[in-house]
Amino acid sequence: MTPAPVLAGYTADERGDDALALADLYARATGARLTVANVRPPGWPARGPGSVDAEWTAYLREHSAEVLDRAAGQLGERADTGYVSHPHRGSGRGLAEAARAAGAGLIVIGSAPGGRRGGVAVGSTADQLLHGAPVPVLLAPLGFADAPPPRLERLTVAYRRGREDPLPGAARLAAALDAPVRLVSLVPRPAGLPARFRRGAEDVVARALAAAEEDLADAAARLRDRLPAGLAITTEAAEGAGIGAALRSLVLLPGELLACQSSHDGPIRKVFLGESSGKIVRAASCPIVVLPRGSLPE
């Protein structure tokens, strides 16, 4: 089966370079066609019903074409690549429209400006995509293009037993990348306990870790049936003074890819960042993909 195209949201700055480098890496690993999209503002209304300022619209188109030329120069002689200039007032919603038009199965964007290097900051573009994108959204950490790894070598999946199961989406990602899977459960230590309960706090954490390990073993058994033969599955329960601290305690490979599931509060078959997934995204120090709620069509 031919993999669905990958859509990279590109702007002529560092975040665009990061998204392009990660999208290119992912597309090469999966054999997918790469589409580079630049979202430009629509033309301004002018006098007369339905008319726009033609000169301004022409300028916007020319500028967008120059931005896409810059992307093409960075990719070099890469075959099977498309370039799209898409008009929309919202960059995230524009990328979602461009992804639908291209039949993309993944949208890749960079971190918002002003975040920590090596991390992901959620700006307006990411916020729009992370609350309604029809396909998984992959975010590149700030500075990813400076030294991208040669390949994506492992998929780490944040797992918690509940109403939304990340295993179907994770299995498709792992199979497409031909990468081993690590299922992790993030166990936050209880904070602010009254003094009379503090002696038992370690027991509470130990029980939570034991329960997480049981859940991970069950999830690994279910995931094994979905993966191609030969792909390894490992599990790990990590604890910390919060979800972010637990995530940061994990050892990451240079080519790590982290995946988390959308919140059950969001619409079906759409990406929707919830409280827990939002903490994971903001604490991530490697590329992270947010999977839509519910199963997507094969």
The predicted pLDDT at position 53 comes to 76
The predicted pLDDT at position 226 comes to 93
Phi/psi at 245 (nearest 5 deg)? -65, -40
- Give the tens place of pLDDT for each residue, 257-285: 999 999 877 667 789 888 889 999 999 99
Nearest to 10 by CA among 61, 58, 65: 65
The predicted pLDDT at position 195 comes to 46
Q: Which H helix or E strand runs over 138?
A: strand 137-140
What is the token pair recorded at 220? Answer: 């690994």
The predicted pLDDT at position 42 comes to 87
Q: CATH assignment of 1-148, given 3.90.110.10, 3.40.50.620, 3.90.1720.10, 3.40.309.10?
A: 3.40.50.620
The predicted pLDDT at position 52 comes to 58
Ranges in the chain, pLDDT < 70: 1, 44-52, 163, 190-202, 266-267, 295-298
Domain segments of the chain: what residues?
Answer: 1-148
What is the token pair recorded at 66? Answer: 């120059």
The packing angle between helices 54-75 and 14-30, to 10°, is 60
